[in-house]
């Protein structure tokens, strides 16, 4: 995994587009960002809680079994709101109720002096051919987008070069979406001048064009890499784009992250996804979080366009462009992109208890789901199972930090297939090849302890010569042990493994059909996860990076903030937590609403903890976005319980949403996994401290 977030301002042109009408689907539901990290010394039974000033209190906490349905960490379930599984007769066009074609020379449709001509399905206008469509269904549940080399060439202005012209396809979704999880399973072509993409554009009126409309790239493959002659079939790029400042037509904002696959992308299907919430986007490849991008990445007058409008989705296969290069004699005559599905999810507050999320690990063919009501849990999962180098199953999960355990009673399974199973799991992340330890029960009652010790490795399997329908996985340091029971009281070990997982992991329930597209519907009760301080959503924030103030560690009072902080949240985001949270509604720039949430009306003598992973020891400056009605209080930051920054006072900004940025001179931060704490030292006018939106820990 290659994390390479950056913020770049460039004068190069990129994509232009004409705007059409789109149906907006779904409310502005909040989506919560994921992160990943440890805390040094996590095996210790003492936990550090950071109070105001330089005072550090050590809380000696016993590991308690905690009913997960009473968890106070806020996170909710995903609900499928729209999809196209591309089921249809072979040779037919994509569903006209879901997609429309854009047609014409690529240099006019997409800009960048591209060398393809986009063809609609039935176009016979040269160089398009009705007998050779560029986008069609293959009859096996896939959309095929094929670029076809023609005998035409395009002279490239300013260069002594002519590129071959290809026909290709570019389709737009007729529905548009505001926030949620957007994902597609795609087999991606690579090669000289081959430029496939799965992306989104903001829906605006005809008066605006790119970059004013905003853009998010979920899958974008560049070959060769810009500024080089190197073909790299392993790299995917994720980006957000917008104007440098309101109304600007000069240059554009570019925040980009890069993911490196372990094998060339054209060899297999891969899942590309973004989780989009107000003020931030998180990008995933095969379930691996590799780039967090937010309004906090920007500075000066750069505009975060991601919250100003719904976005419609695009799938296209461009061929060449001045951005990186053109096809040549080495390029295949028919580069082909194959799309298995496109799915859009949004958060549903009613699906799962607070602190729980769900995911279709590996993108099984049949869409799974998870739900909980009155202590009864239902998980429906399909997919190839939990074995081999990559997994496919439904996973309902909660953050788990350090030592702890997950247990549950498996009531029933609908599937009768021998490969089906359900049970409990501790997992290193949502990636398809992540490390894990699990206890599984098959429909015929056999029990297995299974563990993957190496990323993308083949797991070990230990069969139990007995029966039971209560299962448990426990962690003690690097040792993971599976148990089974017939009554939930007396536990028998099934197997154990030594796994080098990070401190902050995910613990929860699973179900898989083991083969084929059918669902295995499993029922559980008596679900328990050890309560502990854990990184938000089980993964900590990478430093350098941006920490959203509202995404403090899970665990609740006494773990992530003081026991005395009893005030309840004031928005739908983590409503049961002590710290009050509000959603941003204004920005100060005309027609620009960045969205996001902030910690509101902070009390004095408090702390809020954030798990972070610092990639490199260095001196880092802090930027803290704050506001206050009247003179605010004094704050500082601790690292592992010790002051790491100077104290600073929040000024009177004239209102809770009149924001300013405090700049802290560079301070030394060590590499590794740590707890970074926002500490409130004293109050200001009327004893109030003020509000905090985010803090950036980024190099100059």
Of the listed ranges 81-90, 239-248, 334-343, 669-678, the least confidently predicted one is 239-248
β-strand 376-381 against 447-452: which pairing, if any?
Answer: unpaired
Answer positive or negative: Cα dihedral of 346, 349, 355, 356.
negative
Is the pLDDT higher at 294 or at 21?
294
**C-alpha span between 607 and 193 (Å, rounded):** 52
pTM: 0.88
Contact 274/216 with Cβ under 8 angstroms? yes
Of the listed ranges 268-272, 299-303, 620-624, the least confidently predicted one is 299-303
pLDDT given at position 134: 98
The answer on pLDDT for 615 being more than 70 is yes
pLDDT given at position 45: 27
pLDDT given at position 24: 59
The answer on pLDDT for 35 being more than 60 is no
Does 351-529 carry CATH code 1.10.260.40? no
583 has which bridge partners? 597
Of the listed ranges 27-41, 498-512, 528-542, the least confidently predicted one is 27-41
Q: Which CATH number fits domain 6-26+81-343: 3.20.20.70, 2.30.40.10, 2.60.200.20, 2.60.120.200?
A: 2.60.120.200
- HSE, side-chain direction, 13 A CA sphere, residue 417: 22
pLDDT bin (cut points 50, 70, 90) of residue 301 is confident
The answer on pLDDT for 33 being more than 50 is no
pLDDT (average), residues 360-370: 91
Q: Running DSSP on this structure, what letter comes out for residue 355? A: T
β-strand 404-413 against 520-529: which pairing, if any?
Answer: antiparallel
**C-alpha span between 275 and 81 (Å, rounded):** 14
Q: How many Å is the Cα radius of gyration of the chain?
A: 26
Q: What does the block give as tokens for 189?
A: 């072509």
Is the pLDDT higher at 503 or at 594?
503
pLDDT (average), residues 589-593: 52
pLDDT bin (cut points 50, 70, 90) of residue 243 is confident
Note whether 6-26+81-343 and 351-529 share their fold. Answer: yes
Contact 69/375 with Cβ under 8 angstroms? yes
Rounded to 10 degrees, the C-alpha dihedral 504/505/508/509 comes to 180
pLDDT bin (cut points 50, 70, 90) of residue 23 is low
Contact 335/233 with Cβ under 8 angstroms? no
pLDDT bin (cut points 50, 70, 90) of residue 36 is very low
**C-alpha span between 162 and 328 (Å, rounded):** 9
- How far lies 365's CA from each of 41, 514, 518, in Å? 41, 12, 8
Is the pLDDT higher at 649 or at 568?
649
β-strand 634-639 against 288-294: which pairing, if any?
Answer: unpaired
| Residue-averaged pLDDT of the chain | 87
292 has which bridge partners? 282
The answer on pLDDT for 456 being more than 90 is yes
The domains of the chain are located at 6-26+81-343, 351-529, 540-697
Contact 278/583 with Cβ under 8 angstroms? yes
pLDDT tens profile 98-145? 999 999 999 999 989 999 999 999 999 999 999 999 999 999 999 999
Q: What does the block give as tokens for 402?
A: 């350090």
* 69: region left, alpha or beta (phi > 0 left; psi from -120 to 50 alpha): alpha
Is the pLDDT higher at 14 or at 177?
177
Contact 179/289 with Cβ under 8 angstroms? no
β-strand 634-639 against 648-649: which pairing, if any?
Answer: antiparallel
**C-alpha span between 229 and 303 (Å, rounded):** 33
164 has which bridge partners? 153
pLDDT given at position 205: 79
pLDDT tens profile 313-362? 999 999 999 888 999 999 999 999 999 999 999 999 889 998 899 999 99
- Other Cβ atoms less than 10 A from the Cβ of 108: the count is 12
pLDDT tens profile 428-438? 999 999 999 99
pLDDT bin (cut points 50, 70, 90) of residue 592 is low
Contact 579/569 with Cβ under 8 angstroms? yes
The answer on pLDDT for 606 being more than 70 is yes
DSSP helix/strand/coil, 694: strand
pLDDT tens profile 406-418? 999 999 999 999 9
The answer on pLDDT for 32 being more than 50 is no
pLDDT given at position 511: 98
Of the listed ranges 142-156, 219-233, 474-488, the least confidently predicted one is 219-233
> Is the bond preceding residue 667 a cis peptide, omega within 30 degrees?
no
* Phi (first) and psi of residue 348, to 5 degrees: -125, 115
Q: DSSP assignment of 144-203, as one string?
A: EEE-EEEEEEEEPTTSS-EEEEEEE-EEEEEEEESSEEEEEEEEPP-STTEEEEEEEEE-
pLDDT bin (cut points 50, 70, 90) of residue 420 is very high
Q: What are the strands, taking DSSP E only, across 566-651?
A: 581-583, 597-599, 606-614, 618-628, 634-639, 642-643, 648-649
- How far lies 486's CA from each of 421, 442, 475, 496, 628, in Å? 18, 15, 21, 19, 57
Contact 266/317 with Cβ under 8 angstroms? no
The Cα diameter of the chain in Å comes to 79
pLDDT given at position 573: 86
User: According to CATH, what is the number of the domain 540-697?
Assistant: 2.60.120.260
Q: What does the block give as tokens for 251?
A: 């240059």
Contact 488/405 with Cβ under 8 angstroms? no
């Amino acid at each position: 995994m290659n994390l390479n977030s950056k913020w770049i301002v460039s004068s190069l042109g990129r994509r232009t587009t004409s705007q059409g009408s789109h149906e907006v689907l779904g409310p502005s539901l909040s989506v919560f960002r994921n992160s990943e990290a440890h805390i040094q010394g996590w095996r210790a039974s003492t936990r550090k809680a950071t109070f105001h000033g330089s005072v550090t209190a050590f809380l000696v906490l016993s590991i308690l079994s905690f009913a997960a349905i009473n968890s106070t960490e806020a996170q909710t379930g995903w609900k499928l709101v729209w999809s196209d599984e591309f089921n249809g007769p072979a040779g037919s066009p994509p569903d006209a109720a879901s997609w429309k074609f854009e047609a014409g020379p690529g240099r006019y449709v997409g800009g960048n002096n591209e060398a393809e001509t986009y063809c609609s399905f039935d176009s016979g206008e040269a160089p398009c051919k009705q007998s050779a469509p560029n986008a069609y269904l293959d009859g096996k549940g896939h959309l095929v987008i094929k670029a076809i080399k023609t005998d035409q060439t395009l002279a490239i202005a300013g260069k002594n070069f002519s590129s071959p012209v290809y026909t290709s396809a570019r389709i737009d979704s007729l529905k548009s979406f505001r926030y949620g999880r957007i994902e597609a399973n795609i087999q991606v072509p690579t090669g000289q001048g081959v430029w496939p993409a799965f992306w989104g554009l903001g829906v605006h009126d005809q008066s605006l064009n790119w970059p004013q409309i905003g853009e998010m790239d979920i899958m974008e493959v560049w070959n060769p890499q810009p500024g080089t002659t190197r073909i790299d079939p392993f790299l995917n790029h994720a980006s957000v784009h917008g104007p440098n400042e309101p109304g600007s037509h000069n240059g554009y904002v570019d925040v980009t992250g890069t993911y490196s696959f372990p094998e060339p992308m054209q060899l297999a299907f891969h899942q590309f996804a973004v989780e989009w919430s107000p003020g931030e986007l998180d990008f995933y490849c095969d379930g691996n979080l590799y780039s967090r991008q937010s309004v906090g990445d920007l500075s000066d007058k750069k505009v975060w366009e991601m919250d100003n409008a719904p976005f419609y989705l695009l799938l296209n296969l461009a061929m060449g462009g001045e951005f990186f290069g053109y096809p040549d004699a080495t390029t295949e005559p028919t580069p082909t992109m194959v799309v298995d599905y496109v799915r859009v999810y949004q958060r549903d507050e009613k699906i799962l208890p607070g602190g729980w999320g769900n995911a279709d690990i590996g993108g099984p063919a049949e869409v799974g789901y998870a739900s909980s009501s009155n202590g009864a849990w239902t998980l429906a999962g399909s997919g190839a199972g939990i074995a081999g180098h990559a997994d496919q199953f439904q996973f309902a999960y909660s953050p788990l930090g350090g030592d702890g355990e997950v247990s549950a009673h498996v009531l029933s399974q609908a599937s009768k297939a021998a490969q089906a199973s359900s049970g409990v799991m501790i997992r290193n992340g949502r990636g398809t090849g992540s490390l894990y330890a699990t206890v599984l029960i098959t429909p015929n009652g056999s029990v297995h302890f299974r563990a993957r010790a190496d990323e993308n490795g083949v797991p070990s399997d230990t069969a139990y010569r007995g029966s039971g329908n209560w299962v448990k996985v426990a962690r003690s340091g690097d040792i993971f042990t599976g148990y089974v029971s017939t009554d939930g009281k007396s536990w028998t070990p099934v197997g154990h493994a030594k796994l080098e997982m990070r401190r902050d992991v995910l613990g929860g329930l699973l179900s898989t059909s083991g083969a084929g597209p059918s669902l295995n519907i499993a029922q559980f009760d008596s679900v328990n996860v050890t309560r502990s301080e854990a990184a938000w959503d089980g993964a900590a924030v990478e430093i350098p990076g941006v920490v959203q103030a509202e995404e403090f560690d899970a665990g609740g009072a006494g773990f992530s903030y003081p026991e005395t902080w009893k005030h309840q949240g004031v928005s739908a985001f983590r409503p049961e937590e002590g710290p009050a949270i509000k959603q941003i509604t204004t920005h100060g720039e005309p027609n620009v609403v960045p969205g996001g949430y902030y910690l509101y009306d902070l009390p004095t003598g408090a702390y809020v903890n954030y798990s972070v992973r610092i990639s490199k020891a260095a001196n880092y400056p802090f930027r803290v976005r704050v506001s206050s009605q009247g003179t605010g209080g004094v704050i500082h930051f601790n690292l592992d319980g010790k002051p790491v920054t100077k104290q600073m006072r929040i000024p009177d900004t004239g209102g809770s949403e009149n924001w300013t940025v405090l700049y802290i001179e560079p301070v030394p931060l060590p590499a590794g996994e740590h707890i970074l704490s926002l500490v409130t030292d004293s109050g200001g006018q009327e004893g109030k401290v003020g509000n905090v939106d985010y803090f950036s820990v980024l190099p100059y």
